[in-house]
Amino acid sequence: MNNELFNECLNKISSNISILPDKPEETPSNTLKALWLKASGISASVLKSEDIPLPELSDEQVDKLSNLIDKRLEGIPVAYLTGRQSFMELEMLAGPEALIPRKETEILGYVSVEILKSLPDTKINVIDVCTGAGNIALALANSASNAKVYASDLSEEAVELARKNADFLGLSEQTEFLSGDLLEPFTNLDLYKKVSLLTCNPPYISSSKVAEMPDEISDFEPSLAFDGGAFGVNLIRRLITDAEKFLCTGGYLAFEVGLGQGAVVKKQVEKSSIYSNIKIVNDELGQPRVITAQKL
């Protein structure tokens, strides 16, 4: 590796990049490593790039690296430039078809995995809605070989990316991805009262705050994945009610909430009189980020 070139590029990135708080895994150094590898013909997420030795670059590849760095500094997310994002230690395909899987959503993922582990070791059905790139659905399928995971997204483009991720991870036979509004795609699949776990990472940013979001998100990632309507909880309200049709008795509902929404949404779950054992899971800063509940 050309150390002089690396240091020159690192200085350029460090001096001009702004790392978003919701992408804490990114640093100037691993951003450069991921772009360096991409220029050499290797696709890797920023986390995976830390473990791959950097090759020498040809003159043509140096030009490609320079172009990639310029695009990153223009605000294009590094995951879209490399085509890769790490989620719960899974290396996944990433692209503008879907929201980039976030580190914070791993809270929902790991909580859901623990729920799966607590269930009887028999064939179980799982539904994941607002699946995006398929990260939660595929992480669950990867963690439990006895689970059949059905997933949906309103965006056909996101569903296509999720299917590609299933192929990429060798989980196609264990998963089924459908396009449609929330739980509507599953109405003809004989899943009523047969689902043990239903997960969701919904769009929860209120429409009025979308314009205040960093350009890196609002300009490049699909708004359908983060615009949650006037109050940011429109879809969650529907989910709380509609999930009852699919969950078996004792089945779990688990979903992510935005900052400041936890207490209000928990009350909505309680008022529905559909669930018991309602819990809030906090992030490392003590902020409510996930709600779980069991169907009565």
Give the CATH number of the domain where residue 253 resides: 3.40.50.150
pTM for this prediction: 0.90
Indicate the pLDDT class of residue 228, thresholds 50, 70 and 90: very low
Residue range(s) defining the domain that contains residue 279: 103-295
Q: Are residues 154 and 58 in the same domain?
A: no
Helices (H) and strands (E) in the chain, counts: 12, 9
- Who's near 254: CB < 8 A, 6+ residues apart? 108, 111, 112, 115, 197, 198, 199, 200, 290, 291, 292, 293
Question: Residues 78, 111: one domain?
Answer: no
Residue 94 belongs to a domain: no
For the segment 259-284, what is each residue's pLDDT rounded down to a tens digit? 888 888 999 999 999 999 999 999 99
Same domain for 228 and 156, yes or no, is yes
Structure token pair of residue 6: 């690396």
State the pLDDT confidence band at 231, using cuts at 50, 70 and 90.
very low
93 domain-assigned: no
Task: Return the exposure string of 24-61: e unless at least 16 CB atoms fall within 10 Å of the residue's CB, then b.
Answer: eebbbebbbbbbbbbbbebbbbbbbbeeeebeebeeeb
Query: What are the pLDDT digits (tens) for 253-265?
Result: 999 998 888 888 9
- Rounded Cα distance between 196 and 287, Å, is 27
Please tell me whether residues 250 and 130 are part of one structural domain.
yes
Q: Does residue 232 register a pLDDT over 90?
A: no
28 within domain boundaries: yes
How many distinct structural domains can be found in the chain? Answer: 2
My answer on whether 120 and 170 are in the same domain is: yes
SS3 of residue 57 by DSSP: coil
